[in-house]
Amino acid sequence: MTNKKFVSIKSKLFLVMLIGLVVAGAIFTVAWKAGGFIVWRYYLDEDKVEQRNRQNIENFQKYVLDEKLSINDTELIKKWSDGKYIELVVYKNGSLVFTPDWFETDTDGSDDSDIYNDIISGERGFEQYLTEEARIRYERILNDILDENQNLSPIIFRDGTLLAAVIDYSEDFVYNIVFIISLGLAFVVFAVIMAFCFTNITARITRLAHNVKKVEQGQINMPVNIEGNDEISTLASDVNSMRNTVVENMSKEREAWEANAGLITAMSHDIRTPLTVLLGYLDLMQIQNHDPVMREYLEACRENALRLKKLSDDLFSYFLVFGKRNFDITLNKYNSDDVLRHMIEEHTILLAEKGYVFEKVWDAENREINIDTVYLGRVIDNVFSNIGKYADVNSPVRISVYVKNGYITLEFENTVCDGKGAESNGIGTKTCSKIMEQMGGSFVCENVKGKFVTIVNLPVSE
């Protein structure tokens, strides 16, 4: 792992969030100031304001004429400005007959709707119900508003003409839009910063998972990249250490296996060589010695020597079957009829002398098969050896040869003799399975309802 100072993911996220908030705040401020300047420079320009006021007066006049309003239709007058960023002020003979709802009509805070309705309807003068202080304050506010907008304009009603002014505060709506846009920009910037941070973290986790997957698939020598200085880098370092430990253990295991392989091979060779010589001498002694007692002793010696030889062969086969080494198989193309008929006939003749009966069904046309005849001979030897050990001599042995799914299949079926069990260690069966697997075929043994079935699949050459 690197010598960088460890910084937790939680601390990094907090720091990134803080930076994001600061940057987002700066973006909001800049956008709000810039938007406010644009509104002031273009939307609140004197010509634009005057144009909007003139348009509002024209629209109100059109509304009055279309609806044929009278001076006393205060509800309909009020309806025109509802939902708009404008307020309407209407005078009749110097008296205020219509004002926005937000003007006060009573300084003591009481709500006198009768007085207010009288004012709106024009039946009483507005100023007489205000104290001197309230009147001065009201006139100042109203004058400021009217000075900012425009002078009073005549509005023709059905029953007379009144003076009116439209107070336009639509800039509030524009400022709200600017505020929303500024806030949206700030949020987007904050989201982008946080997304970049999370994307970086998830990308590192994804790369680590990908490296671990490669190690799981067997690419054990590929190192795991260590990025950053947080919990993810610590995890990557631990995975890398675990990988190094596995590589080291595999190396030691391989060395131990090679040592065992050399020992077993040497022992098997050293045992079989003197046993072969011993068997040769025992055969010569049996031929030359005619004493029945001595011949019995020699036969016992020969059987024990053969047992030792078989144990040696089993030891070597066990090493090949359960170990990591393969048989030294060389594949060549052969004519199927010639090879298979010869191998099968060779064994059936010997077993027939012991009383076994064979039923043969040859339903395979002549094909080229890709095999090693030496190792295939070992497989066939094992099959007929099992038949001689475990098959019931009173029941026929069925041998079928046929083509199926790109293989020439040899199927041997025999009845299991009562009192004869299966092979004790199964080394022969496992050896045959591994041999056939290396040749691209398969070897299967099954016991089905008292019938022992052995199937050998040989690959047909393309």
Residue 358 has pLDDT above 50, yes or no: yes
In whole angstroms, what is the distance from residue 247 CA to residue 250 CA?
5
Digit-coded pLDDT (tens) for 231-242: 888 888 888 888
Q: Is 182 exposed, middle or buried (0-12, 13-18, 19+ CB in 10 A)?
A: buried
Residue 148 has pLDDT above 50, yes or no: no
Neighbours of 239 (CB within 10 A): 17
In whole angstroms, what is the distance from residue 422 CA to residue 411 CA?
19
Radius of gyration of the chain (CA): 53
In whole angstroms, what is the distance from residue 255 CA to residue 341 CA?
44
Residue 396 has pLDDT above 60, yes or no: yes
pLDDT computed for residue 94 by the predictor: 62
Q: Cα separations (Å) of 202 from 36, 55, 206?
A: 40, 58, 6
Q: Which of 117-126, 179-188, 236-245, 320-329 has the lowest mean pLDDT?
A: 117-126
Strands lying side by side in the sheet with 397-404: 358-363, 397-404, 407-415, 451-459, 442-448
pLDDT computed for residue 104 by the predictor: 43
pLDDT computed for residue 15 by the predictor: 92
Read off the pLDDT of each residue in 9-27 and give the average, rounded to a whole number. Answer: 92
Contact 422, 385 (CB under 8 A): no
Read off the pLDDT of each residue in 350-356 and give the average, rounded to a whole number. Answer: 87
Read off the pLDDT of each residue in 43-50 and give the average, rounded to a whole number. Answer: 84
Place of tokens 């002078």: 151
Q: How confident is the model at residue 100 (pLDDT cuts 50, 70, 90)?
A: low
pLDDT computed for residue 57 by the predictor: 85
Q: How confident is the model at residue 128 (pLDDT cuts 50, 70, 90)?
A: very low
Q: Which of 219-223, 234-238, 383-387, 396-400 has the lowest mean pLDDT?
A: 219-223
Residue 62 has pLDDT above 60, yes or no: yes
Read off the pLDDT of each residue in 150-170 and give the average, rounded to a whole number. Answer: 79
Question: What pTM was computed for the model?
Answer: 0.48
- The three-class DSSP label of residue 157 is strand
Read off the pLDDT of each residue in 279-294 and give the average, rounded to a whole number. Answer: 80
In whole angstroms, what is the distance from residue 444 CA to residue 245 CA?
39
Domains of the chain from N-terminus onward: 1-229 (no CATH), 238-322 (1.10.287), 332-459 (3.30.565.10)
Q: How confident is the model at residue 107 (pLDDT cuts 50, 70, 90)?
A: very low
In whole angstroms, what is the distance from residue 144 CA to residue 235 CA?
71
Contact 393, 362 (CB under 8 A): no
Contact 212, 225 (CB under 8 A): no
